[in-house]
Chain A
Amino acid sequence: MRIDRVLAGVLAATLPCLSPAQQDTQKEIERYRQMLQESNPAELYEARGEELWKTRRGPRNASLERCDLGLGPGVVKGAYVRLPRYFADTGRVQDLESRLATCMVTLQGFTPEEARRKPFSGTGAPMITTDPFSGVGQRSVMTDLVAWIASESRGMTIAPSVSHPKERLAYQAGERLFYYRAGPYDFGCVTCHGEEGKRIRLQNLPKMTNAKDAQRAFGTWPGYRVSEGELRSMQWRMWECVRQMRFPELEFASDASIALITYLAKQAEGGTFDAPAIKR
């Protein structure tokens, strides 16, 4: 009884503090994220990616060092923040991952199927083992490369190109896809990402039409997902969102995926790129 009374007293004393504490929650989460950043295992992926870039692979036994990511052959520094963009040699708008797949074909001699075979890292949470790209304990060359190339744009300003007609077309298609509602749940990207202050459980959902939210979201992918123990790329982010909406599977490096990324990159224009980040 006495303990109950003491507890009640303690509760009464702490209750008025709860409200400012709740307001501070976001700040505390920020602090937590910063602490995590120091121990971000993305660094391990970045180191492997840098090695892989220089490693001779494939039927032609060639490295990717002459791969043109948009700023000229072999230029990696700052390439990520300028993508997606139009590439004259393929006649397509490409994001980093589809571009890397192109280079694996043209430089290293892989078939397009081989280049896209395992785009995502494999050791994820059990719920994604139905993912055709995954297998337990398997690493993805693509993911490692993405981690390093993205890290080479850290601190730079997000500045995708939308001047070429095909880039504008990709942007418009991406916008259409963003607002498109369908599937068994009548869901669309906009359902979760079209309003301010929404969240799923404790995850705040960025409003992608709001520059600040979009900059933060786009600027922190790729990211290391602590809950999955894996680094996840932008293509994976799109693929996973589409899966969660119960849409047909989003094909890796497809025009639809690139259109969505183009739209999001444009929304995030002017933001500071700070990835690979660390995620819940």
Chain B
Amino acid sequence: MADPMRIRANMTGDKVEVKVLMAHEMETGLRRDAGGNAIPAHFIRNVSVTYGGKTVLSAQWGTSVSRNPFLHFRFNGGKPGEKVMITWLDNKGEKRTDEAVIAGGG
């Protein structure tokens, strides 16, 4: 089971600003271990963010994204006290969903 994401969601003006830190190896498949064997690729393929049942962000990722990726974005129409849900799915079929309540903010 993958470690939980760290999510911060704050209102900035009329937009919701979301910062997500994901714990993931993001192995490219190009590296080799001490024994010379290739380390199998293991990376996040899809990221989706939903708010109130609607998708507000959908991304396709690859091996060029760093280990423990950080995602920062804003979207319209969110309200404080409501939840944003974030899901990632990796190339091994592992999946993780976390949610955060939108804080008032400035």
**Contact digits for B64-106, partner A, Cβ 8 Å, 1 yes 0 no:** 0011101010000000000000000000000000000000000
Closest to A123 in B: B25
Closest to A131 in B: B34
Asked if A129 and B4 make an inter-chain contact with CB atoms under 8 angstroms apart, the answer reads: no
A226→B33 CA distance, assembly (Å): 19
Q: A44-B21, A44-B68 are in contact. Are A136 and B33 (CB under 8 A)?
A: yes
Asked if A130 and B21 make an inter-chain contact with CB atoms under 8 angstroms apart, the answer reads: no
Asked if A44 and B25 make an inter-chain contact with CB atoms under 8 angstroms apart, the answer reads: no
The prevalent SS among residues of B at the interface is loop
Contact count band on A: 10 to 19
Q: Which residues of A contact B23 (CB under 8 A)?
A: 41, 44
Is B45 interfacial (CB-CB < 8 Å)?
no
A41→B31 CA distance, assembly (Å): 21
Q: A41-B21, A44-B21 are in contact. Are A229 and B66 (CB under 8 A)?
A: yes
**Contact digits for B8-50, partner A, Cβ 8 Å, 1 yes 0 no:** 0000000000010101010100011110000100000000000
Closest to B22 in A: A44
Asked if A47 and B39 make an inter-chain contact with CB atoms under 8 angstroms apart, the answer reads: no
A136→B68 CA distance, assembly (Å): 15
Q: How many residues in B have their beta carbons less than 8 Å from beta carbons of A?
A: 18
A129→B19 CA distance, assembly (Å): 33
Closest to A36 in B: B70
* Min distance, Cβ A30 to any Cβ of chain B, angstroms: 19
Q: A47-B4, A137-B39 are in contact. Are A41 and B68 (CB under 8 A)?
A: yes
Q: A39-B72, A130-B34, A136-B39 are in contact. Are A47 and B6 (CB under 8 A)?
A: yes
* Min distance, Cβ A120 to any Cβ of chain B, angstroms: 14
Q: Which residues of A contact B66 (CB under 8 A)?
A: 226, 229
Is A38 interfacial (CB-CB < 8 Å)?
yes
Closest to B26 in A: A229
Task: Identify the interface centre among B3, B19, B72: most chain A CB within 10 Å of its CB.
Answer: B3
Asked if B68 and A126 make an inter-chain contact with CB atoms under 8 angstroms apart, the answer reads: no
Asked if B67 and A43 make an inter-chain contact with CB atoms under 8 angstroms apart, the answer reads: no
Closest to B19 in A: A38
* Min distance, Cβ A252 to any Cβ of chain B, angstroms: 19
Asked if A44 and B31 make an inter-chain contact with CB atoms under 8 angstroms apart, the answer reads: no
Asked if A129 and B21 make an inter-chain contact with CB atoms under 8 angstroms apart, the answer reads: no
A205→B33 CA distance, assembly (Å): 31
A130→B35 CA distance, assembly (Å): 10
A48→B3 CA distance, assembly (Å): 8
A129→B37 CA distance, assembly (Å): 13
Residue ranges of B at the interface with A (Cβ–Cβ < 8 Å): 3-4, 6, 19, 21, 23, 25, 27, 31-34, 39, 66-68, 70, 72
18 A–B pairs (Cβ distance < 8 Å), ordered by A: A38-B72, A39-B21, A39-B72, A41-B21, A41-B68, A43-B6, A44-B6, A44-B21, A47-B4, A123-B25, A123-B67, A126-B31, A129-B33, A135-B34, A136-B31, A137-B27, A229-B67, A229-B68
Ranked 6 nearest A-B pairs via Cβ: A39-B70, A41-B68, A229-B67, A129-B34, A44-B23, A136-B33
